A and B are shown apart, each in its own frame.
Chain A
């Protein structure tokens, strides 16, 4: 079967700074894929190019056999690419529930107008992720861990086939990391492909089936979690000897 996501020679620069240089990688259907690398290595830029928040100057992004390089972000979301943001970006003027109604209305239930049904589905997602109790609360009044969960919940509401989790666990406590990991494992079991960007090595190593390490906009190593931690280049660039 063809890979779900193909990144083919993607380059992106900001002025004279090359954030990504000819990055190529494939993500298989149903895979749990880890993306690591030091700060500024291009991880977020790469997923911005995949989600459509940024445009790559060279190369192509192919999703499920279709070239989506020129598509705006909302079109990619409708095709099944959803993401969470590293710094949570809730719709602050809305309740937690309404935050999920937006992608439900604009992606999953486009054209149908049963608000009751949409809200029921939003509530189901919130229950799954453990935010149901806050459904009617304003999203501007959530704690850090709740905001991270809301990011994931909103991404899930777009009914993705590929979910990109950008540092969903940064700054969370040990038990909170476990909670988020459990949610991601459960999502993966339902058939959703997941790309995890994470600095918490213990989490990313446990979660991923395959890991790629970026440094200065290039892939320096690719392999199983076990082989990655032994790689001398990765140790040198990221993990520290």
Chain B
């Protein structure tokens, strides 16, 4: 099979992870994170740092990125999750800008000019690095969905939904709201950073502006909204739809136009199907309410 499909498929899988991770905090708990780019970028640069310092293999890079992302999520959460609504969102944008600035000025990891990464030979049983990355991306996507699904269907998910519906009532119903939000923010951050870790190997080149790009933040938010935030399948559907359309548009029309696609699709869905594809499906095939 043409390697290009794996190359493009990897990007779609990466967005499945990002959208699913975003939805854990943004969809279930209702805390809109505009800083996906910060977590993604810090994941990529954790990998860069490891490659430069120790030459650690891809698996270690991903694990390290996930730990850094989890800690960053916990720290950012501790500082900002006492803020509600729009204030939390603004704080997450600030975090992305701060981290990008730090990397821009850090020579060791390439600074503003970026850094070239030499891909090592693929590990057995893979004969091409791209198919290997694709498989890793697939594993990450499956893992992210499993985690999100567990959270959604357990007492954790019910607690997060209670927070989204009414935070004060949730607290009075015994839900430790701050602790639950911190947990969601840390898990979400860890997954986002894990998604960013293979970027160095995927592109063979990493530089700060595109790694911390607002594009990741916008896509990670648009995909769950398009797919539907109330069910774990929502972000997956949104990421597949938007990710594939973006790849097709990039190849057939232009790479500039794919940003427009996100915008247009988002507007269409917000107007026509505010609960996303999942909401649309439930509207067409309603579950019978037992009376």
Contact = CB atoms under 8 A, between A and B. Distances in A.
Interface string B161-180: 11011101111111111100
Given A91-B166, A94-B161, A51 B175 contact: no
A31 interface: no
Contacts of B290: 135-136
A74 B159 CA distance: 12
A137 B291 contact: yes
Contacts of A91: 161-162, 165-166, 169-170
A82 B165 contact: no
A78 B169 contact: no
A154 B165 contact: no
Given A91-B161, A93-B161, A133-B291, A106 B168 contact: no
B291 A77 contact: no
Contact of A106 (B159, B164, B169): B159
B155 interface: yes
B174 A77 contact: yes
Given A74-B177, A105-B155, A106-B159, A53 B171 contact: yes
For chain B, which range describes its interface: under 10, 10 to 19, 20 to 34, or 35 or more residues? 20 to 34
Contact of A93 (B165, B169, B174): B165
Interface string A52-65: 11000000000000
Given A91-B166, A93-B165, A137-B291, A78 B158 contact: no
A219 interface: no
B172 A106 contact: no
A184 to B, nearest CB: 18
B230 interface: yes
Given A91-B166, A93-B230, A102 B171 contact: no
Nearest to A84: B172
A89 B168 contact: yes
Nearest to A94: B161
Contacts of B178: 72
A85 B171 contact: no
Contact of A102 (B162, B176, B291): B162
Contact of A85 (B164, B169, B176, B230): B169
A43 interface: no
A137 B173 contact: no
A148 interface: no
B289 interface: yes
A40 B63 CA distance: 55
A180 interface: no
By DSSP majority rule, is chain A's interface helix, strand, loop, or mixed? Answer: mixed
A158 interface: yes
Interface string B209-235: 000000000000000000000100000
B291 A74 contact: no
B172 A102 contact: no
Contacts of A78: 174
B174 A106 contact: yes
A83 B162 CA distance: 16
Nearest to B161: A93
A197 interface: no
Contacts of A128: none
B181 to A, nearest CB: 12
B172 A73 contact: yes
A106 B175 contact: yes
A91 B167 CA distance: 9
A123 interface: no
B173 A77 contact: yes
Nearest to A108: B174
Nearest to A101: B158
Contacts of A52: 171-172
Interface of B: 155, 158-159, 161-162, 164-166, 168-178, 230, 289-291
23 contacts: A51-B172, A72-B171, A74-B171, A74-B177, A77-B171, A85-B172, A89-B166, A91-B162, A91-B169, A92-B165, A94-B165, A102-B159, A102-B170, A102-B173, A102-B174, A102-B175, A103-B173, A105-B155, A106-B175, A106-B176, A107-B174, A138-B289, A158-B174
Interface of A: 51-53, 72-74, 77-78, 82-83, 85, 89-94, 98, 101-103, 105-107, 113, 133, 135-138, 154, 157-158
Given A77-B171, A102-B159, A105-B159, 11 more contacts: A74-B177, A83-B172, A89-B166, A89-B168, A91-B166, A94-B165, A102-B170, A103-B174, A106-B173, A133-B291, A154-B169
